[in-house]
Structure 1
Amino acid sequence: MVSSRTFSALDSYVWTLTYKWAKRTHPKKSKHWIVNKYFGRLNRSKMNNWVFGDRATGAHLPKFAWTNIRRHQLVRGKSSPDDPALLDYWSQRRQTRTPPPMDKISLTLAARQKGICPLCGQALIAGAEYEPDSPREWIDWFDAMKKRLHKHHFAYRRHGGSDESKNLRLVHSECHRQHHAGDSDRK
């Protein structure tokens, strides 16, 4: 199967659906009006004139064709992981696995904070109140919880703060949301 062809076919199908929706929503408008209202280069990083979305907010439907295609290496012949003659083949194949689940900055921040969220004072990950025995333990914990943790800036980027680790701290996503809930009130 060729992913790029499938993604293009899906994009074509979604375009047809969105165009039909726009035509049904605005039955008295011309094709040019509909195209100008709903389609265009809404995502600046992708050079495509047919992105469906809202020009005012910049919200848009991502294209399937924008998905990064990751190739995988096929298993050679009838190679079996149980064949003792192919131990080197399988060990090399296992070494080129997926990247680690956690970046170095998050690992450094977690160790520096001793696993505690500075906003609420609770453990970043339940059961991580003690300092782990190895970096692997941190990685395992964060792999399970990584979507629930955010990097928070001491000095906001909009106020000139940087993305260096000295300006970051690791916090619960819920604590982060609550902390920034009143940002519109602050100047």
Structure 2
Amino acid sequence: MSGDVHVRFREHPRGQFPRVTRLIITGATREVLVDEVRPLVEQFLAARGLVLSSEKTRVTHIDDGFDFLGMNVRKYGGKLLIKPARASVQRFLRKLRVIVKGSATMRHDQLIRRLNPLLRGWANYYRHVVAKLTFNKGGHAIWQCLWRWARRRHPNKGAHWVHRKYFRTVGARHWIFGTTTGKTLSTGRPELLTLYDIAGTPIRRHRKIKAAANPFDVQWESYFEARLGFAMLDSIKGRVRLIRLWLDQRRSCPVCQQMITKSSGWRLYHVERTIDGGTDANRNLILLHPECHRTVRALGLSVVKPARSNGLGKA
């Protein structure tokens, strides 16, 4: 059983608190939630000037599922799956259709630049859940919307002409909504500006932290260093930082002096341990081979950060 509970805040004089927030409370049975948990929650909130929203507070079985923060949480055959909520998906598609319909006179490239941040942000929000099917369907719905937009702009032109003007082939992908920017790449080919492909967004599962993990325990230091590495790989900014670290230390491991490559792998290492006040800043991080990292941590050795390189192998 689970309850989707809405907590309504009382008006704050300076307005720095929201009036409504949401939370989920789980329980073994409906009776436990209704007769025991809810009175305790109401008592806890009342002491802090808060009240439950009676019209929005409900108790539902996990097999029936519920929507929470744009996600649908439900068990299917005993397996818990979190998917994008249908209402949230439809609301997003309606927003895009309104934008496209209202951009009848907008240039091809301007429309792409207006849509791309919305598409990328929406896909990144849902990329940690079971969203691949939703991405595929959403991508097709967006393509249909843009095809109608292009046909309405040229009612006297045929489908083949519209296709050649507004759609491109990129690698093995066809019917890509895009256009040239007028710039030329180093290869001599024209630069293409294309619509963000939500169907091609990779699904990256959320890495749940271990319950026993303690950032202040030296035994868990390697675990948190590994998590930091995974987190940096999940963002463009983080990957740029990793490349900068790799170049700054001449692409090699400071312990064995051998090259760090894709096949050799790597692990992050804190020069000053976080339990001693070290930070995650680049000046406190080094890339080591996994074997070297295990040796250094097991023996309690220290590693000196190499002098910064110019990225060409020279200090």
TM range (shorter): 0.3 to 0.5
Instruction: Tell me which of the two structures has the higher relative contact order, counting C-alpha pairs closer than 8 angstroms and 6 or more residues apart.
Output: 1
TM-score by length of 1: 0.45
Larger strand fraction of residues: 2
* TM-score of the two chains, using structure 2 as the length reference: 0.29
Compare CA radii of gyration and give the structure with the larger one. 2
